[in-house]
Amino acid sequence: MIDSIKHVAIVGGTHGNELTGVHLLKHWRSHPDEVTRNGFSTELHLANPKANKEVRRYIDQDLNRQFSIHDLKDHELSGYEQCRAKALEVLLGPKENPRVDFIIDLHTTTANMGMSLIFNSNDPLVIGMAFYIKQKMPHATLFYNPSDRLEDNFLISVGRFSGLLIEAGPIAQGLLKYQVYSDTHTAVMHAVDYLEQKNTEQLVTLPKQMVGYKFIKKIPLPENTEGEITAMIHPNVQDKDYHVIKPGDPLFITLSGETIVYEGESMVYGAFINEAAYYDQNIGLSFMEKIDIVLEDSAACPNLT
Ligand SMILES: [Zn+2]
């Protein structure tokens, strides 16, 4: 018997300049039936209204890095997003024993990542949702970023299950694009369909494993001693998210046109390549590992029995 899902939250505008989720929330507020399914309630939350009003990613801090249990309990952390995180935890959590079962958080990227399904847990319910959406939308990419739910600083980690972050692109900050909007809408429809099917114990036929990418680390842009950027993403790498980068391949190109190669020893794959939002930390891209993601039997999972 599955421990059923009763409360689902769809969140948008966690980053105030990612308008796709913000406008999907507006749409669903006037068409709530689209996200309503038997057996659970669906609530809609604009996560960062002040940043959204100013069409900025954040006011003081990145909201989607403020949800570790340690930071939520630290009342010295009182910047705008640090306070928003605490307010959202009251609304959706508390983190140790959440009211909301599953959070779907809607994001966009300036990188050429298409529809990326980002999840931080290997819980069969979460991986099953990602597999289900990828079955329906084969162009989607599975992006696995393993993290302990309580330590995890993403908003989706406040739910009882670590949830799903939908990252669609490429799209500039502060922009709406129909293809991105429509793709995100479709992915959310599949996500709530999946939860309804699991809730009602319908047979959901899913593959045992699917290919995906596991996050390794973020790679900084080359800097001088003053912390100024001295190189940019190499044109061979630009827009090549989820393509292989081999040792010796070009990675960056300096302001004077000299190529800087990847000096690692193993093959990696790029993601968030030249993401505009990461220039606040001089981050150039993320390195990923291509892996087979395995869907464990849900009966073996204590969360589901
Ligand atoms: Zn975002």
Which string of DSSP letters, residue by residue, matches the chain? ------EEEEEE-SSTT-HHHHHHHHHHHH-GGGG-BTTBEEEEEES-HHHHHTT-S-SSS-GGG--SHHHHH-TT--SHHHHHHHHHHHHH--TTS-S-SEEEEEEE-SSS--EEEEE----HHHHHHHHHHHHH-TT-EEEE----TTT--SGGGGSSS--EEEEE-S--TT---HHHHHHHHHHHHHHHHHHHHHHTT------SEEEEEEEEEEEEPPB-TTS-B-EEE-TTTTT-TT-EE-TT-EEEEETTS-EEE---SS-EEEESTT-GGGGGGTEEEEEEEEEEEE---GGG-GGG-
Statement: residue 159 has pLDDT above 90: yes
Contact of 270 with 287, CB cutoff 8 Å: yes
Distance 188 CA to ligand 1 centre (A): 16
pLDDT of residue 304: 42
Please give the distance, rounded to the nearest whole angstrom, from the Cα atom of residue 108 to the centre of ligand 1: 5
Q: How confident is the model over 121-155, as pLDDT tens digits?
A: 999 999 999 999 999 999 999 999 999 999 999 99
- Does residue 223 register a pLDDT over 90? yes
Task: Give the Å distance between the CA of 21 and the centre of ligand 1.
Answer: 10
301 confidence band (pLDDT: 50, 70, 90): very low
CA of 280 from ligand 1 middle (Å) equals 14
Q: For residues 252 and 234, is the Cβ–Cβ distance under 8 A?
A: yes
**Residue 7 vs residue 298, higher pLDDT:** 7
List pLDDT tens digits, range 13-58: 999 999 999 999 999 999 999 999 989 999 999 999 999 999 999 9
Provide the pLDDT for residue 298: 66
For residue 300, is pLDDT > 60? no
- Summary mean pLDDT of the chain: 95
Whole-number Å distance, alpha carbon 167 to ligand 1 midpoint, is 7
Predicted confidence (pLDDT) at residue 305 exceeds the cutoff of 90? no
Q: pLDDT value at position 96?
A: 97
Euclidean distance between CA atoms 83 and 162, whole angstroms: 21
What pLDDT was estimated at residue 303?
44
The mean-pLDDT minimum among 1-5, 108-112, 251-255 falls in: 1-5
Residue 297's pLDDT is what?
Answer: 79
User: Average pLDDT of 271-299?
Assistant: 94
Does residue 244 sit in helix, strand or coil? strand
CA of 210 to the centre of ligand 1 (A): 25
CB 77, CB 63: distance < 8 Å: no
What's the gap in Å between 37 CA and the centre of ligand 1? Answer: 26
CA of 181 to the centre of ligand 1 (A): 14
How far away, in angstroms, is 47 Cα from ligand 1 center?
A: 11
pLDDT in tens, 11-22: 999 999 999 999
